[in-house]
Each structure stands twice: as C-alpha cells, then as structure tokens.
Amino acid sequence: MDTYCFINSKDIREYLRSTGYTFNSLETAWLIYQCKSLTINEKHEAWNELIATMPDCRIEKRGLMEPQESLHAFLRKYMELEDKHIADFRKNVDTKNERYVYTFIDNYDRLDQITTSFESIYDLFEDGDPDRTRILCSKIKLDDLQSDLYSNYMILNPQLEVVEIQPNIDNEGEKSLFFGVFDRLWFDFPTPFKKGDIVWDPSKANHRGYCIGPFVITYVSLEGAANQRVITSIRENGDNSDMTACGYFVNEDGSIYHEVTSGLLDLEYYNKELTGSQRTLIAVSNFIKDEIELDLAMRAYHQIITQGYANDSIPSDQTEEGIEISGIIRNNK
C-alpha cells in the first residue's frame, strides 16, 4: 500500500518518501481517515486493503479514548457506522417519526433554499460549476429551522460524492467509537520545515479569519514544548489538535502576531510571491534565519506597514486626475 499518497501536504509527502519513512498499521489507518482528497467510499476501499495486507494491532488507551483490542475490528465497525449514518441522513423521516428538511452551502455561501428530499441535490447542482469545491448539506428538524447547520451534515465534492459526515448520534457506544478514536490519536511524523520557513495550508486558500494564510514557522509540534513533562504528556495523551506548528501570522495591515495552529500535516511551503502587507513576513523570516540584523528587520517592518497606511488613505471619492493634481500622487513624466 502506498501510504504516502494519503498525506495532504505534497511537501511532507515528498520529504517522507525521500527519507524512506515507513508507516505502521495504525499510522496508515489514521492517514487514510484524515486524507482530504478521498471520498468516504475510497477511504473504505483503502481500509479494506489495509485489513487484507497489513498486520493487526491494538489501539492503546489515550486520554479519554477507550482502547481497542483490534485495529482491524475497529475499522470494520467504523465503516459500518459511516454506511449506516449516510443511509439515515438520506431519509427525511427518522425512527421517531421526526420530519427533516435539507439546506445547502455551496462552497461557503448558503443557498436560500430548503428542500424536503436529499435527492434534490442532484437537480440543484447539476450545472457542474467549475469554481465549486464542495457542498455542505445540513439536515435539520422541520419544526426547528433555526437549529445549528453544523450539528448534522454531510460534505460532498463537486461530483456529489460524500467526503465527510458529521451525524447526530444518540447511542453513547456508537458516539465513542465514531468520534472518540481517530481524533484522539497523535503522531510525531517528521516534516521538512525549519525555523524561519514560510508555509501555509493551501486547503484554506479561500478562507478568511484568524491563523489563515502564509506564516513564518518558529517551531513544529514538540519543538516548542516547555519541558520534558509536557513532552511526555503529549506523547502519552495528546490528540490530533496537538499536531501543531507555531509561528508569526500577518494581519491585513501587515502587523504580525504569534500563534499556534493545528493541521500540521496540511502545511506546505508558500511558494507564491508575498505582496502588499504580507511582505512583513519576508523581514520576519530573514531575521529568524539570521540573514538580516534586527535593525533592518524593524525598519522594513515599519516601512511596509506605513506604506500600506498611506496607500489605504488615498481618497476613494476622487478621480485619478484629481488625485494627481492634488499632489497626493506625483506625475513623474
């Protein structure tokens, strides 16, 4: 089995392949789980191949996670649960005779449409919009249309194949199995990233908000742990959220802030040109790499930010000619 293909980051994938890193059964199972390019059906095919070709193992207890005597048995139960809840999601009436409707978010824009049938998705999105990257379909109670859209949903790709399901599960045993195993695991996979590198999560390219976009790495995972006690605690009880990178992110005005972000295995080198206010990251990166002195880094940081403030303060209610003859922008002809 080519486990490398399940790693989201092309740079981490190529690095681990080049170093000959080998994966055990549990690591492979988890990498399949978190792979963003696979549909649920494709994940099931990969897990079934794992069961047929890789050794079984015990999943040891971690934190609140209950141990699993057999990885193979757990994967079979997990796949059965996914199939069951996908089938249930498609029904607009449940076993308690509660009626449901469906609402949709196309990419990240909510549609002003509610339907009584999941199958309507095939009519709604038959246009094959090339800019569409995903569809989020929420299932909500008919008598509670203001309920949380993210409590019971499926995500589909542009081909309308299911890539993720987040169901409401009442049964505690099923809930523990579905939500309480994969997300409780932690792995210390090597990465190629070094202090001062500029990286990003390309899967969030269209997102806005905190810890989004390129940032300068200061440390990865356990490198930033305060002491050995913290390192031991993460190794024994850490979960997916502890697979992190820390660094300097940039605000819209070019000012920076230091923060930690999860999703380590999604990160790639940022090979695009840094423009506008993002250029402060160039100064930060080169200072951290000891390629420029602090005084030059600070002067560059100040220059880029003040330049941005000046550009943003140019009157927007005037013509180009008016701006030029006012002296705000000089004509160098």
Residue 203's nearest CA partner among 274, 134, 109, 149 is 134
Residue 98 has what pLDDT? 86
- 218 residue type, one letter: T
Residue 227 has what pLDDT? 80
Element (DSSP H or E) covering residue 256: strand 256-262
Secondary structure of residue 5 in the 3-state scheme: helix
Q: Block means of pLDDT (10 residues each) for the chain, length 333 residues?
A: 96 97 97 97 98 97 90 98 95 86 87 87 84 90 77 92 93 92 94 96 82 93 79 88 94 90 95 92 95 93 80 64 60 50
- pTM equals 0.88
Q: What angle do CA 36, 37, 40 make, to 5 degrees?
A: 80
Residue 278 CA to residue 31 CA, distance in Å, equals 32
Residue 28 CA to residue 53 CA, distance in Å, equals 12
